[in-house]
C-alpha cells in the first residue's frame, strides 16, 4: 500500500439506485467538509457522489420507463382515472421488473467501484451511510471491497451511524464507524495509516493500534 499512484481516501455517498424525492439529488455538504479537511491535511481525496440529477437520469434510464409513465398517468391521474385490474396488474409486473433491473445495475455499479478502489490502491474508503437500502448497499460495497482490496480500511459515518451508534457495527463488514462530525477523527486515522504504512505495517496493524481515536468492533 505504498507508492505515489495510490489514493489516500475515497469518500462514497451511499445511494440505492433510485430517488425517493428530489432531495436525494441535492448537493450536500457533509462529504464536502470531510474532503476539505483531509485535503488541507495533505491527503489525496477522491469523492464519488452519485447524488446528482444527471447521474440518476442516466442510471435509471431503461426501456420500461415510457410504458410505466403512461400507466401512471392512466391509473393515478385524479381527473382522468382509468384504474382497472388489468392496468394495475401490468403496473405491478413492470414495477417488479424495474426493481430487478435496478438491482442488477446496482450490483454492477458496486462491483465497478470496488474494482476501481482496488486498482487505485485506495488506503481508506469512507462511506456516508443513510437509512434503508442505502445502508444495505453500503454493507454490500464494504463486503466487495474486502474481497477485491483487502488492504483498504473501511470506515462508515453519516446519518445512519449517527443514529444507531455502535449498533451500526453489529454484523457489518466495516472496520470502524465514526459517530457524528468526522473531519477531525478521519484526519487522525489517515495520519495513523500513513505512519503505520511508512513503517511497513498493514491494515491489521492500524486496527490493532490501541491509541486509535475511534471505536473498533
Cell digits of residue 17: 439506485
Among 15, 56, 59, 174, contact with ligand B12 (rule: CB under 6 A)? 15
Longest dimension (CA), the chain: 71
Q: Does 123 bind ligand B12 (CB under 6 A)?
A: no
Q: Does 182 bind ligand B12 (CB under 6 A)?
A: yes
> Taking the complex as a whole, how short is the minimal distance between the CB of residue 194 and ligand B12, in angstroms?
17
Q: Does 179 bind ligand B12 (CB under 6 A)?
A: no
Q: Does 55 bind ligand B12 (CB under 6 A)?
A: no
Question: How many binding residues for ligand B12 (CB under 6 A)?
Answer: 31
* 3-state secondary structure at position 182: coil
Give CA–CA dist 37/82, Å, rounded.
55
> Taking the complex as a whole, how short is the minimal distance between the CB of residue 155 and ligand B12, in angstroms?
5
Number of helices and strands (H, E) in the chain?
A: 8, 6
**Which residues, at least 6 apart from 191, have a Cβ–Cβ distance to it below 8 Å?**
41
Give CA–CA dist 73/203, Å, rounded.
54
> Taking the complex as a whole, how short is the minimal distance between the CB of residue 71 and ligand B12, in angstroms?
23
Q: Does 54 bind ligand B12 (CB under 6 A)?
A: no
Q: Does 90 bind ligand B12 (CB under 6 A)?
A: no
Q: Which residues of 153-178 are buried (b: 16+ CB within 10 A; e: fewer)?
A: bbbbbbebbbebeeebbeebbbbbbb
> Taking the complex as a whole, how short is the minimal distance between the CB of residue 3 and ligand B12, in angstroms?
23
Q: Does 187 bind ligand B12 (CB under 6 A)?
A: no
What does the binding site for ligand B12 look like in residue numbers (CB under 6 A)? 13, 15, 20-21, 23-24, 26, 28-30, 33-34, 51, 126-128, 130-131, 155, 157-160, 162-163, 178, 180-183, 186
Amino acid at each position: 500500500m505504498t507508492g505515489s499512484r495510490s489514493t489516500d481516501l475515497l469518500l462514497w455517498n451511499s445511494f440505492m439506485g433510485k430517488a425517493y424525492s428530489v432531495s436525494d439529488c441535492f448537493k450536500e455538504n457533509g462529504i464536502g467538509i470531510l474532503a476539505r479537511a483531509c485535503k488541507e491535511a495533505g491527503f489525496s481525496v477522491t469523492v464519488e457522489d452519485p447524488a446528482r440529477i444527471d447521474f440518476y437520469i442516466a442510471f435509471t434510464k431503461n426501456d420500461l420507463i415510457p410504458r410505466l409513465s403512461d400507466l401512471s398517468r392512466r391509473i393515478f391521474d385524479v381527473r382522468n382515472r382509468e384504474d382497472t385490474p388489468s392496468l394495475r396488474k401490468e403496473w405491478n409486473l413492470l414495477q417488479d421488473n424495474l426493481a430487478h433491473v435496478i438491482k442488477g445495475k446496482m450490483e454492477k455499479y458496486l462491483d465497478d467501484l470496488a474494482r476501481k478502489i482496488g486498482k487505485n490502491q485506495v488506503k481508506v474508503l469512507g462511506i456516508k451511510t443513510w437509512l434503508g437500502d442505502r445502508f444495505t448497499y453500503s454493507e454490500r460495497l464494504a463486503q466487495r471491497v474486502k474481497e477485491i482490496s483487502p488492504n483498504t480500511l473501511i470506515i462508515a459515518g453519516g446519518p445512519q451511524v449517527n443514529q444507531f451508534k455502535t449498533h451500526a457495527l453489529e454484523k457489518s463488514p466495516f472496520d470502524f464507524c465514526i459517530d457524528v462530525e468526522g473531519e477531525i477523527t478521519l484526519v487522525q486515522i489517515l495520519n495513523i495509516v500513513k505512519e503505520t504504512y511508512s513503517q511497513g505495517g498493514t491494515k491489521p496493524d492500524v486496527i490493532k493500534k490501541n491509541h486509535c481515536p475511534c471505536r473498533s468492533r
